[in-house]
Chain A
Amino acid sequence: MMPLTNPLLLVVILINFFTLGSARLVACIRIVAFQGALLAMLPLTTHGITGHAVLLAIGAFSFKGVLIPWLLIRAIREVRIRREVEPLIGFVPTLILGALTTAGAFLFSDFLPLVAEHHGGLYVPTALATMFAGFLLLITRRKAITQVLGYLMLENGIFIIGVLLSEAMPLMVEAGVLLDLLVGIFVMGIVMNQINREFTSIGTQRLSDLKE
């Protein structure tokens, strides 16, 4: 199963770039969902078919690949977003920043004191690159929903590291973490709905009355 891991992780990195460069909101949600679904396969390709890996894969697939995107698509349908992704800085600069952070992630992970079997692997650089891409989305996009996507990508990046350490995270805890994520996104969806009702747009730049 191991040979499948590297192509999978490479696709995850490509998805990061797609999300950073895409202007269409629904496409962004779908592709982040696809990233989550791909990552759900990662426990299987890493540890083989064990009970823990299979259950984790099923859980992650149904939460990250199906339920959360469904919640998000429903949320944007409810608030009827017409305009697409509105970046604070343009798509090209974000893509360049994304490329730089990805390169940085690969260089940086060479310096990390990883254990022997993770040296030269794609796990750690991909995890770092995905987290950075999530942060970029969080910082550079105006819409509340794109910020949620950024948060999801950040969680995806952390999930990759979690797969390396599956002994440390018993299934109970993994399930709790996924459930927290789902309910968190659900609550964020409700708040987005309310933002839309009050401000007639879900742009967070309007959320600037609270300051000193």
Chain B
Amino acid sequence: MLELLILSPLAAAALSLVFPWYQLRSWLLPLSSGLHLALSIVLVSGSFPAGGAWVGLDALSRLVLVVTSLLFFGCAIYAVGYLDLRRDRGNKVMVPCLLAFLSFMTLAIAARHLGLLWMAVEATTICSAPLIYFNRNRLSIEATWKYLLLCSVGIALAMLGMLFIAYAALGGGAPVSLQFDSLLATATSLSKPWLHAGFVFLLVGFGTKMGLAPLHTWKPDAYGEAPGLVGALLAGGLTSVAFLGILRGVQLMTAAGDGAMARQSLLWMGILSLLLAAVFMVRQPDIKRLLAYSSVEHMGLLAIGVGIGGLATFGAMLHLINNALTKGGLFLAAGNIQRAYSSKRLSEVRGAIVGLPISGTLFLAGFLAITGSPPFGPFLSEFTILRGIFANHQMVVGVLVLLSLATVFIGMGATVLAATQGESGPKNDNFRDRPLLYLPPLMFMLLILLLGVYIPEPLQKALSQAAALLEVHP
């Protein structure tokens, strides 16, 4: 069942290579990802066996799996409309790359062997590079090159980290294996210095992929130049997968009794990300780069949540869902605005609510949601993280977080309000809101609204289980 989940998008990708019909190739995306979503929901809700030594699902990966699958499904529907507009660019590269991307993300989520996890994450880098290069101009080449080189080098360091963890097993006399369950079981006998070094390299490697400061430099470029739907998938899906990689490291360190050190390093990286993102978001004239920095900010919040522990970890798990869906909605809406105004800079984008009523309103609502305004979901999760911070008596951290959140609200607000309010600027008249392009972001925003007012019982339970995996000492 799990194998089918991983392999079916890859099969669809192969199928899309031989399909001669443009429209049908585009429709393969929602078909395949719809199947993926249905399978994921069955797998997650049912009590299927957790899987073998290579792939399996635990509480953490279930959470990330459902979020990624849902996000991808929305983006796949959007892609049909988007690719119809971009017939000049074609979809012969986009469709197979997107499907392979989904397949490798799923593999990374389900991997129970660190080597397999590494392989899958590196494969996602390779599949997503052509997606960022979709627009084929100078800026997108530059962004693609930076992304490809920085992420490959970063991921190479993560490999070094994994080898150090294997060396820790060798040094500690434990059986040498990178199978995650066997590592967890023998965690206490791992040699400490090598385990610590391994964790640091894992953090640097997956942190590059996730975009934690100071390793985020590729992010504004890649998100800014990629099409909106690719930005949505990178900011909502791939970052969550990379975060899962870091969480595996935290789990291992906690099992070895060194959770405190792991949390401390996550906490400081998180705070740095939050502060840096806040600085760069003030007076940011480019709406997509703004969203990229917002992504750095929220990665920081996730890291802080796990870094504090306890209630804040629960908040971080909830925030992972909220961030992925809100970023999805925001990037898709921003993509529509960019198409309508043929620009993503404030000098051209003005009064989007008048010019493009639905997408403009969704963009504004997305801004309110992501900056933590009630009644949207992120308000609840950010509030939970903050409560966790203050309950832990980390006053300095709490004040820093509050200050950055306020700065982000003001900085992001200035740009977003200028882009959406007032008279509409000169606009491409051929582009209007169409259902395929506004329904997916609308669906994401409604889900976020729902999560803000009501968290269903099963989700509550899933979140607690996921948070517990990071807390419990075996």
Contacts and interface: CB of A to CB of B under 8 A. Distances in A.
A108 interface: no
Contacts of A148: 149
A191 B129 contact: yes
B303 to A, nearest CB: 23
Interface in B118-170: 118-119, 122-123, 125-126, 129-130, 133, 136-139, 141-146, 148-149, 152-153, 156, 159-160, 163, 166-167, 169-170
A170 B144 CA distance: 32
Contacts of A177: 115, 118-119, 122, 159
Interface string A127-165: 000010000001000001001100100110010011011
Give the size category of A's interface with B: 35 or more
A42 to B, nearest CB: 14
A1 interface: no
A31 to B, nearest CB: 20
A113 B171 contact: yes
Contacts of A210: 139, 142-143, 146, 220-221, 224-225
Contact of A151 (B123, B142, B156): B156
B166 A165 contact: yes
B125 A184 contact: yes
Contacts of A194: 133, 136, 141
A168 interface: yes
Interface in B159-216: 159-160, 163, 166-167, 169-171, 176-178, 191, 193-194
Most buried by A among B123, B149, B191, B224: B149
Given A115-B171, A151-B153, A187-B126, A169 B115 contact: yes
A153 to B, nearest CB: 11
Given A207-B141, A209-B142, A113 B125 contact: no
A183 B113 contact: no
A209 B138 contact: yes
A165 B194 CA distance: 13
Given A168-B163, A194-B133, A113 B193 contact: yes
Nearest to A204: B145
A178 to B, nearest CB: 10
B94 to A, nearest CB: 15
Contact of A158 (B130, B143, B159, B177): B159
B462 interface: no
B123 A115 contact: no
A148 B357 CA distance: 46
Contacts of B169: 168
Interface in A158-192: 158, 161-162, 164-165, 167-170, 172-174, 176-177, 180, 183-184, 187-188, 191
A177 B125 CA distance: 13
B116 interface: yes
Contacts of A173: 113, 115-116, 118-119, 178
8 contacts: A113-B193, A151-B152, A158-B163, A161-B160, A187-B126, A195-B141, A210-B220, A210-B225
Interface of A: 113-115, 131, 138, 144, 147-148, 151, 154-155, 158, 161-162, 164-165, 167-170, 172-174, 176-177, 180, 183-184, 187-188, 191, 194-195, 198-199, 204, 207-210, 212
